[in-house]
């Protein structure tokens, strides 16, 4: 059952790359993470859906930690309903961590996308209104 939790839970990542690790940028990282962030925000920005449908369709884009955090969100509290222009890379290392900006009708969202090893799939850790960062 949905609760009245805020639309952006805290799902801060806990893993980090060792500071002495050499990071090799993945040539496909930008395209993969922009696509993932776009799909995740498209699934996120649907406040008229019932909770069960909303969370079930958001789960495939989320890390395990984010999935637990977003289970507390009531989709009715999500202010966006549609994307307004293409997403773009905000910053990142191109190997493990990327932040993507996704413009919506409620302002830009910053999507934190992460993976723990280069062979792992990317997953969304957090979807946050840029204005609140």
Whole-number pLDDT of residue 124: 98
Using alpha carbons only, what angle is made at residue 93 by residues 133 and 80, rounded to the nearest 5 degrees? 35
Summarize pLDDT for 21-39 with one digit per residue, the tens. Answer: 666 777 788 999 999 999 9
Per-residue pLDDT tens listing for the chain (133 residues): 444 555 656 555 555 555 556 667 777 889 999 999 999 999 999 999 999 999 999 999 999 999 999 999 999 999 999 999 999 999 998 889 999 999 999 999 999 999 998 889 999 999 999 988 7
For residue 75, give the nearest of 39, 50, 110 by alpha carbon: 50
- Domains of the chain in start order, with CATH, are 29-132 (3.10.450.540)
Alpha-helical runs (H) found in 1-133: 29-44, 51-58, 64-70
């Amino acid at each position: 059952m949905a609760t009245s939790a805020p639309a952006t839970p805290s799902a801060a990542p806990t893993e980090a790359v060792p500071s002495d690790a050499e990071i090799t940028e993945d040539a496909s990282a930008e395209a993969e993470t922009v696509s993932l962030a776009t799909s995740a925000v498209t699934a996120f920005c649907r406040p008229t859906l019932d909770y069960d449908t909303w969370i079930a369709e958001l789960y495939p884009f989320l890390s395990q930690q984010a999935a637990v955090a977003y289970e507390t969100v009531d989709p009715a509290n999500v202010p966006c309903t549609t994307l307004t222009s293409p997403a773009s890379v905000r910053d990142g290392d191109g190997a493990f961590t990327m932040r993507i900006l996704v413009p919506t009708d409620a302002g830009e969202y910053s999507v934190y996308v992460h993976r723990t090893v280069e062979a792992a799939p990317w997953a969304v850790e957090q979807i946050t209104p840029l204005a609140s960062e």
